[in-house]
Structure 1
Amino acid sequence: MERVLSADIETFSDVDLIKCGVYAYADSPAFEILLFAYSFDGGETQIIDLAQGEKLPAEVEEAIFDVSVTKTAYNANFERTCLSKYFGRYIPPESWHCSAVQAAMLALPRSLEDVGRVLGLDEQKMKEGKELIRYFCVPCKPTKANGGRTRNLPCHALEKWELFKTYCKRDVDVEKSIRRKLHNFPIPESEMELYRLDQRINDRGVLVDMGLVEQAIACERLHKEVVTKRAYELTGLENPNSVAQLKGWLGDMGMEAESLSKKAVAEMIAETDGEVEELLRLRLLMAKTSVKKYEAMERSVCSDGRIHGMLMFYGANRSGRWSGKNVQIQNLPKNDIPDLELARDLVKQGRFEDIELLYDSTPNVLSELIRTAFIPKLGCRFVVADFSAIEARVMGWLSGEEWVLDVFRGDGKLYEMTASRMFGIPMAEIGKGSPERAKGKVASLSCQYGGSTNGLISMGALDMGLTEEELPPLVAAWRKANPHMVQFWWDVDAAAIKAVTEKQKTKVGKIIFEYMSGILFITLPSGRKLSYVKPRMAVNRFGRDGLTYEGIAENKKWSRIETYGPKLVENIVQGTARDLLAEAMLRVEKKGYPIVMHCHDEIIAEVPEGSGSVDEMCEIMAIQPKWAEGLPLRADGYQCSFYQKM
């Protein structure tokens, strides 16, 4: 029978775990493991007090390195990374199991405390934990009362220390309870394979050009000083960054300002001149921060010059997509400046005056260079490839909107064809810059998941010159041009409601809906299931009976959430796109392209010079999985000596 070692550790480091991530945390020379709680095969939990000189039993150490023993922990990446540092020897993810991932796959919370509460476990995480961690696990301020020490040791509060040991053991007991409770919902082997790949990618990390990072931060600070000084000279205000003081100054200059948001200031600039216009432009420059990501890089980088752990497996628990951590790579600014390499060199050389001279906005330049701080190691280049219009392809395939699939089997001009169908004009008359194509594009992007007028506005329809009056007819035209997609929304809506209210397994095309153990499961074409906990019908905000379920809402709290057909379709499409990317990543890695990052539908591999090619990586990505028959896939790519968006 397979042996299972459940473990939880308490640690000390002078690096901030939340801000810098576990890899930088464990990389600190000050890092140490204080307590090690463990249980073999569900037996009684034991505690080893490493801080006070106890040693790990040989049986435990052997089990950690024995691939035939399954190691389980809640957020297992933390234990595995810390133990690798403790032993001075890399521990691969092959025999590790993460119960946080198991919880996330059922759309349960990711925190141990919250999941214990939601599952109603007998054992709950101890509330005193946060205070004990603050006391023993992070440096303390030197005071007269504590004798000027910068760290609290067990001998400084023996009662607290005993309680801390109980807390550590309790975490193992809670994790064991969670696994018992979720016993009937194991992580499928296909997802375990992806989890292991994810861990290897996070362990590998990506190299950062720290010369560029440090100069970008210095450049931003200098620029801010210059801009703030000029604003101070112009206004005489004590703090030209203060919204209240600025509004007062503008009022004295005869200009009432309700808001000083980026959009409001941009609108006011168009109507002003002279000192007021200059001040408003300075306001935009003062408000723009382009260094937050650089600062995150500086905090998170390890002694090997790489940032590790930027990807969270199953971070978006509605669709199962990855999310970002530490340096949030899921929302990096695009690069539009044509001479990117020149701008990059100027910043790196500290030639800030030349940046001011050559470019309209220094903060914009710094913002566009964020991506370029990620670089391949010596002797390698980045090969980057991403799926082309993946969500539109998946939506057309799942809903049976054949004309969309025909477009992707042909020239791929979806926006032109959408406009042609919406406005009844021949494709030949719709050029790249035509207003019809622009309308086709904004409608395609905002209407696919049931979006209406507000969806078009949030996608920038008004900024394109469209009026609010034009929007409802645009929505109607898109829906008329895509009847199968619209039907798919309402078929999914009806199937989900039927599965919940009649407890009947239902099917819509390639998607299966079933209710089991208080959860609505939606099975995707790949076989992976999306989960909706405790679904039931309730009156929604439109005053109609609609489907609701329990989950983590936008306020990050566990609450009841409303849903309906188009929203479920969004989860289904994004979940399917995630599965296509996941399988492509496995193929790409197996073909010898070491992945260092991935973002949305894009894979970034660090490939030795002279091996591999962009074309081959794109071909590997575009292979159709068995379950995706009839779905036309395509990937486009490029290679580069620093990360960028081409």
Structure 2
Amino acid sequence: MKNISIDVETFSSVDLNKCGVYRYCSSPDFEILLFGYSIDHGPVKTIDLASGEMIPEEILKVLTDPSVTKWAFNCNFERVCLSTYLRRKYPRYFKSYSSPEDTVGDYLDPTSWHCSMVWSAYLGLPMSLAQVGAVLKLEDQKMTEGKDLIRYFCTPCKPTTSNGGRTRNRSSDAADKWAVFKSYNIRDVEVEVAIQERLKKYPVPDSVWDEYRIDQMINDRGTRIDMQLVKNAIAIDAKTHDAYMEEMTELTGLENPGSVQQLKGYLAEQGVETDTLGKKQVAALINEAPDHVKQVLELRQQTAKSSIKKYQTMERAVCPDGRIRGMFQFMGAPRTGRFAGRLVQLQNLKRNSMPDLAEARELVRTGNYAALEMLYDSVPEVLSELIRTALVPKPGYKFYVADYSSVEARTLAYLAGEQHTMDSFARGEDIYCATASAMFHKPVVKHGINGELRQKGKIATLACGYGGSVGALKAMGALDMGLKEEELQPIVTAWRKANPHVVRFWWDVDKAAMKAVREHTATEVRGFRFICKSGMLFITLPSGRMLSYVQPRIGINQFGSDCITYMGLDSTRHWNRVQTYGPKLVENITQAVCRDILCNAMKNLQETFICAHIHDELVIECKESVSLDEICDRMGQTPDWIPGLILRADGYTCDFYMKD
């Protein structure tokens, strides 16, 4: 036996979608109902565990045999579920892969587990078993009855008179449905095997499977949560919300000022017309409304803040040992292969800028609502800034936070051959500060004079780097940050004039990709190889990884010019034909290379306890004896596959996660 493909059907009273698989499996009532498997792509069998059947001993041994590759679609689910199953039912077969100091010991070693969902994502396909089967036009498709059957057998049900007051449905409660459910389990394995067969001409490189193993270790390790802070933040928000609603009721006379329709009616009576009460619309109305209406709208803003939802997610998803696991999705970004966030969504945390962050945190942690209300203008704003501080290292450790300095700007300049920008980085200059200085005609120093303008320079640099013009600057908040409309086009023009090699790179990439698609041939630009074959456009990156575009064609864009189109997930997350062009391909390439650089750092630091990563940043649990400089030096090492790129990683230590 070389491979085994697995699919399990399970039950737990914990909501999988809201809490994640790690918390789901930790429930005392978690159990595996069906175990479907295929050995070396042979006939599929299903073991009806719910009805008393048992997994054969040879299969139990295989689950921890490093010489046998275990396959599943989203195999993190199968691996974590089977880890819990073995620990509870067959502890003699369970093997830990953790060291005593680490926190990943309760799960099977991910080294010999491969994920066909990752394989699909690597080739630009959807990350859904049903969608992949449909796109590949497999003979056997995922059964559409599955969702209803999962809802029936795998989740709790409400007790009613008709069901005898039971809180869950078992196999004996609906024999006909159970028979179909077993067929569904078999079909899922058959579809998974068919996907592997269809994709075998384009295997995932071993280096990417190594990255996946590290990703699974980070997900298994998880991040400790300060639950005292979380619980008190939720309680304080409830008090604040009630106080704001009471004040709004007094000001408006409405029965329910939280109702959008009622509030819109009140505003109309005050002469303020609006179709929506979205965040941006309310902010715009505040600037124009009379004072008594402005006060109501400001209260609406405060009650509509969504930051409390992250605290609620932490409370739901935390495991019994106080850690949240499974917060990162490998290959979650379809075009670049970058990671995506799950559960708490660490990638979109609010930046903390409070000078008294630690003091405010302690007030929330101790539930001192009166002091918060007295000292701060907006309690919800304080709670929003404190979200990231709910992540804490385990006792006796600190967080070592290290991130790359301007990694996208460095990488783009290197890939395009923009020498003056590379020279600027070599001299240790800050590209965002230099851009902001030119924009605002004053010196800008990071963490120094006019340092608050650096973020505006960063936005302009990133907006222009991938073909963006005035619209891109606006989309990134240029007007909200104080830039004037008439300043925007000159900024774009000046940036492009100062970076001719980047501009040339956009259009060289555009021509190379168009030629590859039009002529079904291989082309090359600055070391990037473009080849169109077997209904795919591949772009080979310096790391050896490939970007994949499904069913590429030459189409016509909105300007009447030729462009490349391909099948992919559109802005609505539907599988449709999508347009692209040179600057957008350069954006994909640059961000993909930056992703590979971060993964290289993870490999360099894999023996440390990496517990989180946010964009181009690593969060590591370390003992205080560890050298921060050494961590940053190892993270900043230039990968062998991109010689000459100058990287720099900066870092700091903290007792709770924060932005330095």
Scaled by the length of structure 2, the TM-score of the pair is: 0.94
Distance, in Å, in 2 between the alignment partners of 1:204 and 1:34 is 27
1:223 to 225, 230, 240: 240
Deviates more, 1:464-473 or 1:209-218: 464-473
Q: Which amino acid aligns with 1:638?
A: Y
Is 1:602 equivalent to 2:617 in the alignment? yes
Q: What aligned pairs does 1:283-298 form with structure 2 within 5 A after superposition?
A: 283-298=300-315
Distance, in Å, in 1 between the alignment partners of 2:291 and 2:539 is 60
Partner of 1:636 in structure 2? 650
Check conservation: 1:24, 1:302, Cα contact below 8 A: yes
Q: Secondary structure at the match of 2:3?
A: strand
Q: Which amino acid aligns with 1:609?
A: E
Q: Secondary structure at the match of 2:32?
A: strand
Check conservation: 2:25, 2:80, Cα contact below 8 A: yes
Check conservation: 2:433, 2:445, Cα contact below 8 A: no
Compute the displacement of 1:438 (Å): 7.8
Compute the displacement of 1:15 (Å): 0.7
Check conservation: 2:436, 2:444, Cα contact below 8 A: no
Q: What aligned pairs does 1:196-211 form with structure 2 within 5 A after superposition?
A: 196-211=213-228
Q: Which amino acid aligns with 1:594?
A: F
Partner of 1:616 in structure 2? 630
Seq. identity, %: 54
Q: What aligned pairs does 1:181-260 form with structure 2 within 5 A after superposition?
A: 181-257=198-274, 259-260=276-277
Check conservation: 1:422, 1:478, Cα contact below 8 A: no
Distance, in Å, in 1 between the alignment partners of 2:415 and 2:388 is 34
Unaligned runs of 5+ in 2: 88-93, 95-106
Partner of 1:179 in structure 2? 196
Distance, in Å, in 2 between the alignment partners of 1:542 and 1:614 is 52
Deviates more, 1:205-214 or 1:434-443: 434-443
Q: What aligned pairs does 1:391-410 form with structure 2 within 5 A after superposition?
A: 391-410=408-427
Q: Secondary structure at the match of 2:553?
A: strand
Compute the displacement of 1:258 (Å): 5.3
Compute the displacement of 1:420 (Å): 7.2
Q: Secondary structure at the match of 1:603?
A: strand
Change (3 A) 1:130 1:437: closer
Unaligned runs of 5+ in 1: none
Compute the displacement of 1:112 (Å): 0.6
1:341 to 354, 358, 361: 358
1:556 to 537, 550, 573: 573
Over aligned residues, Cα RMSD in angstroms?
2.0
Check conservation: 1:4, 1:71, Cα contact below 8 A: yes
Deviates more, 1:471-480 or 1:71-80: 471-480
Check conservation: 1:418, 1:481, Cα contact below 8 A: no
Distance, in Å, in 2 between the alignment partners of 1:76 and 1:37 is 13
Partner of 1:447 in structure 2? 464
Q: Which amino acid aligns with 2:624?
A: E
Is 1:527 equivalent to 2:541 in the alignment? no
Q: Which amino acid aligns with 2:53?
A: E
Compute the displacement of 1:243 (Å): 2.8
Partner of 1:38 in structure 2? 37
Distance, in Å, in 1 between the alignment partners of 2:638 and 2:512 is 27
Q: Which amino acid aligns with 2:432?
A: Y
Q: Which amino acid aligns with 1:106?
A: L
Change (3 A) 1:428 1:194: closer
Q: Secondary structure at the match of 1:493?
A: helix
Distance, in Å, in 1 between the alignment partners of 2:163 and 2:266 is 49
Partner of 1:547 in structure 2? 564
Q: What are the superposed Cα offsets for residues 531-581 of structure 1, whole Å, 9 maximum, x if unpaired?
A: 000000011222221100001111111110000001000000000000000
Distance, in Å, in 2 between the alignment partners of 1:247 and 1:125 is 45
Deviates more, 1:545-554 or 1:467-476: 467-476
Is 1:305 equivalent to 2:322 in the alignment? yes
Change (3 A) 1:419 1:33: closer
Check conservation: 2:272, 2:289, Cα contact below 8 A: no
Check conservation: 2:444, 2:453, Cα contact below 8 A: no
Q: What aligned pairs does 1:455-534 form with structure 2 within 5 A after superposition?
A: 455-534=472-551
Q: What are the superposed Cα offsets for residues 57-80 of structure 1, whole Å, 9 maximum, x if unpaired?
A: 111111112111111111111111
Distance, in Å, in 1 between the alignment partners of 2:266 and 2:315 is 38
Q: Secondary structure at the match of 2:651?
A: strand
Scaled by the length of structure 1, the TM-score of the pair is: 0.96
Check conservation: 1:332, 1:371, Cα contact below 8 A: yes
Check conservation: 1:445, 1:459, Cα contact below 8 A: no
Aligned residue pairs total 641
Q: What aligned pairs does 1:335-374 form with structure 2 within 5 A after superposition?
A: 335-374=352-391
Q: What are the superposed Cα offsets for residues 178-223 of structure 1, whole Å, 9 maximum, x if unpaired?
A: 0000111111110111111111111111111111111101111110
Distance, in Å, in 1 between the alignment partners of 2:456 and 2:347 is 27
Change (3 A) 1:83 1:246: same
Distance, in Å, in 1 between the alignment partners of 2:72 and 2:587 is 32
Partner of 1:112 in structure 2? 129
